[in-house]
Amino acid sequence: MQVSVLASGSKGNAVYVEMDGVRLLIDAGISATRIKKALAAEGVDPASLDGVLVTHEHRDHVAGLVTLSKWYRLPIFTRRATIEHMGCRSSVPADCFHPIEETFCLGGLRVEAFHIPHDAADPVGYRICGSERCTLATDLGFVTSDVQAAIDGADVLVLEANHDPEVLRNGSYPWPLKRRILSNRGHLANSDAAWALVRMKKRPSKVFLAHLSEENNRPELARDTVQRILAGQGLEQEILLTSQTQAVSLNANIN
């Protein structure tokens, strides 16, 4: 399994997952040119992608979708309500869209879309199951029981650690935006990410902390908060920090 977080943050998100010969892009929130270059650095031709999975319609998850679909006519998988609420919908070839329900198959992989609490039409995380399991859960205000169940059993987990609440409260954002981020349909705090990891019945081999706020978080703060809470419960976990500007990759046989 290969997992490469090409970009993660409020300015754009894209994650590449390859498993059992199937190549997937989760979200296309950065430019198509940047996606093409980032994939080329991983030795991947974007034309070889088997599909793009979209979590929700916010611009930082779909900004590159129009150009990417025109260049490569890739199939786009997402919830019907997400398609209907995409501002760029009319600029994407209609036959590229494939509405999904909870579970569907791509190649030899089973893809499970699970609901996440976020202020979008019908936002989802993804659990990709084959010889190994990779789960992505970002852009969620809190970890529901369904999200907790979805991340359990992941060999590789991409989990949001968006902000530190005190840094956010004392920061420069206007109060309505702070309230949105802190709400149950906003973004996940570092400590909440840590406690989600504590509650997992099976430890992932690797965890990517993702969607870190450049304004309301710091990479070392996110890592240290998560590690401190885990250590307090007698747990150890290998943590990888994602970046808005640089790809962070894992290429390993987890078994």
Please count the other Cβ atoms lying within 10 Å of the Cβ belonging to residue 66: 19
How does residue 172 score in pLDDT terms, banded at 50, 70 and 90? very high
- The one-letter code for the residue type at 156 is V
Please give the model's pTM, rounded to 2 decimal places: 0.96
d(CA 39, CA 207): 21
Q: How confident is the model at residue 253 (pLDDT cuts 50, 70, 90)?
A: low
**Interior/surface letters 106-133, b for 16+ CB within 10 angstroms, e for the rest:** beebebbbbbbbbebbbbbbbbbbbebb
Residue 251 has pLDDT above 80, yes or no: no
Distance CA 110, CA 7 (A): 24
Residue 36 predicted with pLDDT over 80: yes
Residue 196 burial by Cβ neighbours in a 10 Å radius (0-12, 13-18, 19+):
buried
pLDDT digits (tens, 9 = 90+) for 147-170: 999 999 999 999 999 999 999 999
Query: What's the DSSP call for residue 172?
Result: S
Please report which residue ranges of the chain form alpha helices under DSSP H.
32-41, 59-62, 65-72, 80-85, 145-151, 165-169, 175-182, 190-199, 219-232
Q: In whole angstroms, what is the distance from residue 251 CA to residue 242 CA?
A: 15
Determine the average pLDDT of the residues in 49-61: 98
**What is the domain-level CATH number for residue 99?**
3.60.15.10
Q: Are strands 239-241 and 248-251 parallel, antiparallel or unpaired?
A: unpaired
**Residue among 201, 204, 97 at smallest CA distance from 159:** 204
What is the per-residue pLDDT for 220?
97
Q: Given the DSSP bridges, would you call strands 103-106 and 109-115 parallel, antiparallel or unpaired?
A: antiparallel
Summarised one tens digit per residue, pLDDT across range 103-146 is: 999 999 999 999 999 999 999 999 999 999 999 999 999 999 99
User: How many other β-carbons are positioned within 10 Å of the β-carbon of residue 216?
Assistant: 24
The predicted-structure confidence for 174-205, as pLDDT tens digits, reads as follows 999 999 999 999 999 999 999 999 999 999 99
Mean pLDDT taken over the chain: 96
pLDDT at 47 over 60: yes
Count of domains forming the chain: 1
pLDDT at 255 > cutoff 60: no
- 153 is in which domain, residue-wise? 2-251
